[in-house]
Amino acid sequence: MTTLDRAELCYPELLNSSCRGPTRPRSDAVLLYTLLSSISVLTVALNLLVIISISHFKQLHTPTNVLLLSLAVSDLLVGLLVMPVETVRFIEACWLLGDLMCALSYIIGFTLTSASVGNMVLISIDRYVAICHPLQYANTITHSRAEVSVSLCWACSLLYNGLILKDHLRQPDRYNSCYGECLVVINYVSGAVDLVFTFIGPCSVILVLYSRVFVVAVSQARAVQSHVTAVAAGTVTITAKKSERKAARTLGIVILVFLLSFCPYYYPSLAGQDTSNSASSWAIVSWLLYFNSCLNPLIYAFFYPWFRKAIWFIVTLKIQHQGSSQANIL
C-alpha cells in the first residue's frame, strides 16, 4: 500500500480494517468550519439571551414563558452540544471520538429534538386555553403546572430516546463496517413508532389546537373591530385579548417554522424506509432541523418588543443595576 493510500485511511495502522473516505480541500474545510461554527455560536448566544431575559425580569415569570424558557434551553443545548459534533461529522471523513460517543451524540440530539416537540405541544395547549377559555386560564395554567409539565416532557424525551437507541448503546459499532465510521440506523419499525409519537401525534395535536385558536382569534378580532363587546368587559379586557392573540400569532409562526424544518427529517419514515446517517441527504436534512434552534429567538426578536428591550438591558449592562429585575419591559 502506498504512502498516499495510507494517508487516506482513518487509522493507517489498521490497514485491513480502517475506513477510507474522501477528503475535502483545506480551503473548503476552513470555509465550512467557519460557517457552521458561526451558526453554532449564534444559536448559543441568542438562546442565552432568551434564557437570561426570562429568568431575570420578574414581569416575564409567566406560565407561557416557562415553556419558552424550556424551548430556549433545548435550542441552546443543540447549539452547544449537537451542532459542533455535527460540524465535525459533516466535514471530516473519519469519526475519531469512539463508538460510545457516536451513540451518545445521537441520543443527545434525538432527546433535544423530542423535548422541543414536547415543548411545542405544551405551547399549543397554553395558547388554546388562553384564547379559547380565557376565564379559566389563570386557574388552569399555573406556574407550578407549567414547571411540572416541562419536567415531565424532558424526562419522557430522555426515556423514550434511550429505549429507541438502547441497542446502539449496548453495541455502538453494530452497523459499522470499518474503524473510523459512525453509523446509526433506525429500522423502519422503530422509525414508524418514532414517526407516530414524535411527529404525527404531536403535529396532529398542534394543528387541531391552533386551528381552533385561529378561528376563535379571528372572531374575537372582528368583535373588537365592530365594538361588539360586553360593557362590563372594559378596555383592560380588550387589551388583554389583543395581547393574547398577538402571542398566539407569534408562537404560531414559531410552530409553523418548526414543522417545516421537521418534515424533511421524517421523510424516510413516511416512505417506509430505514433512517440512517449514511444517506446523502442526511447532512442537509439534519442541519435544516438544527438550524431551527437559531431561528426561534430571531422570531422572538422580530415580534416581541419585550425581548428587544431585554436585550438592550443586557448588552448595555443595565441588568447589573440594583432593582433591574423589577424593570417594566412589557
DSSP string, 242-291: HHHHHHHHHHHHHHHHHHHHHTTTTHHHHTT--EETTSTTHHHHHHHHHH
**Among 101-115, 150-164, 274-288, 316-330, which is the least confidently predicted range?**
274-288
Q: Rg (Cα) of the chain, in Å, rounded? A: 23
- CB 94, CB 10: distance < 8 Å: yes
For residue 265, tell me if it sits in a domain. yes
Task: Inform me whether the pLDDT recorded for 240 exceeds 50.
Answer: no
Confidence (pLDDT) at 330 = 75
For residue 244, tell me if it sits in a domain. yes
Q: How far apart are the first and last CA of the chain?
A: 69
**At which residue does the C-alpha cell 374575537 appear?**
220
- pLDDT range class, residue 251, cuts 50, 70, 90: low
How many percent of the chain have pLDDT more than 90? 24
- Over residues 255-286, the pLDDT tens digits come to 777 777 777 777 666 665 555 555 556 778 78
- CB 76, CB 45: distance < 8 Å: no
**Among 51-65, 95-109, 189-203, 275-289, which is the least confidently predicted range?**
275-289
CB atoms near residue 302 (< 10 Å): 11
How many percent of the chain have pLDDT more than 70? 79
For residue 14, tell me if it sits in a domain. no
Confidence (pLDDT) at 236 = 46
What's the CA gap between 130 and 298, in Å, rounded?
Answer: 24
CATH code at position 89: 1.20.1070.10
Q: Per the confidence metrics, is the pTM higher than 0.85? A: no
- Over residues 107-123, the pLDDT tens digits come to 898 899 889 889 988 98
Mean pLDDT of 185-201: 76
For residue 16, tell me if it sits in a domain. no
Confidence (pLDDT) at 133 = 87
**Among 6-15, 79-88, 252-261, which is the least confidently predicted range?**
6-15
**Among 60-69, 189-198, 208-217, 320-329, which is the least confidently predicted range?**
189-198
For residue 146, tell me if it sits in a domain. yes
Task: Inform me whether the pLDDT recorded for 227 exceeds 90.
Answer: no
Q: Could you tell me how far CA 85 lies from the centroid of its own chain?
A: 16
- Over residues 159-174, the pLDDT tens digits come to 988 887 777 777 777 7
pLDDT, greater one: 276 or 21: 21
Helices (H), 133-187: 134-140, 143-164, 166-170
The secondary structure element, H or E, covering residue 3 is: helix 3-7
Confidence (pLDDT) at 196 = 82
Confidence (pLDDT) at 220 = 67
DSSP 197: I
For residue 286, tell me if it sits in a domain. yes
- CB 70, CB 115: distance < 8 Å: yes
For residue 13, tell me if it sits in a domain. no
What's the CA gap between 328 and 305, in Å, rounded?
Answer: 12
Q: Could you tell me how far CA 251 lies from the centroid of its own chain?
A: 13
Q: Using CB atoms within 10 A of its CB, is residue 13 exposed (0-12), middle (13-18) or buried (19+)?
A: exposed
Residue numbers of the domain that contains 148: 26-326
Q: What is the mean pLDDT of the chain?
A: 80
* 30-35: long-range contacts, CB 8 A cutoff, minimum separation 24: 32/87, 32/90, 32/91, 33/87, 33/91
Mean pLDDT of 193-199: 79
Confidence (pLDDT) at 107 = 86
What's the CA gap between 79 and 288, in Å, rounded?
Answer: 13
What's the CA gap between 182 and 162, in Å, rounded?
Answer: 18
For residue 8, tell me if it sits in a domain. no
Confidence (pLDDT) at 4 = 42
What total of structural domains would you count in the chain?
1
